[in-house]
Structure 1
Amino acid sequence: MPHKPKKPCAFPGCPNLTDGRYCEAHASQANREYNRYRRDPDSNRIYGRRWKTIRALYLAKHPLCERCLKAGRTVLAEEVHHIVPVAEGGGHEESNLMALCKSCHSAITIAAENSRR
């Protein structure tokens, strides 16, 4: 399958080409700035090292998007979704998690945000 052409790194002044948003040299710095200035400080406590381990184990057990599988498609899962959000009392238990591709996770998140309004 052909790959998309690489695009310039989004870090200001960086000439490197990358497949993602940032090149390898700037990815960790961009994440650090995002966590420091744009993300809710409580999220670092909730989604720390423990969550990363739980997420990696869950994706290893469930490598395919659960929502796409129900629709008859085979798509790799990239994200782990909390069925009941942590902010609303949900936990990191396996029964509260769902492996999803980026598009399904975005669709669920947008639907949830619209229902809260």
Structure 2
Amino acid sequence: MPHKPKKPCAFPGCPNLTDGRYCEAHASQANREYNKYRRDPDSNKIYGRRWKTIRALYLSKHPLCEQCLKAGRYVPAEEVHHIKPIAEGGTHEESNLMSLCKSCHSAITAATKNRHR
């Protein structure tokens, strides 16, 4: 299957080509800036190294999107979703987690945010 052509890194002044938004040299720096300026500071306490370990373990056990699987599609999972959000008293327990593809996670998140308005 052919791949998309690579595009320039989004970091200002970087000439490297990449498949994602940032090249490998700038991905961690861009993530740091996102966490510093755009993300709620309390979320850094919740989603630290422990969460990354839990997330990786859950994705290895559940490699397919659970929503797509119910619909009969086999799509690799990219994200782990909390069924009951941490802000509402949810936990990182496996019974409260769900592996999802990016589009399913975005749809659930948008529906949840609209419900709270």
Give the TM interval when normalised to the shorter protein: over 0.9
Q: 1:62 aligned to 2:62? A: yes
Deviations 1:32-86 (A, max 9, x none): 1111111111011000000000000000000000000000000000000000000
Residues in 2 aligned to 1:28 and 1:56: alpha-carbon distance in whole angstroms? 18
SS in structure 1 at match of 2:67: helix
**TM-score computed with the length of structure 1 as normaliser:** 0.98
Letter in 2 for 1:110: A
Partner residue of 1:91? Answer: 91
Q: 1:74 aligned to 2:74? A: yes
Residues in 2 aligned to 1:109 and 1:55: alpha-carbon distance in whole angstroms? 18
Q: CA RMSD in A?
A: 0.6
Deviations 1:2-50 (A, max 9, x none): 1111111110111111000100010011011111111111011000000
SS in structure 2 at match of 1:90: coil
Structure 1 segments of 4+ aligned residues over 6 angstroms from their partners: none
Unmatched segments (≥5 aa) in structure 1: none
Letter in 2 for 1:91: T
Residues in 1 aligned to 2:39 and 2:59: alpha-carbon distance in whole angstroms? 24
Unmatched segments (≥5 aa) in structure 2: none
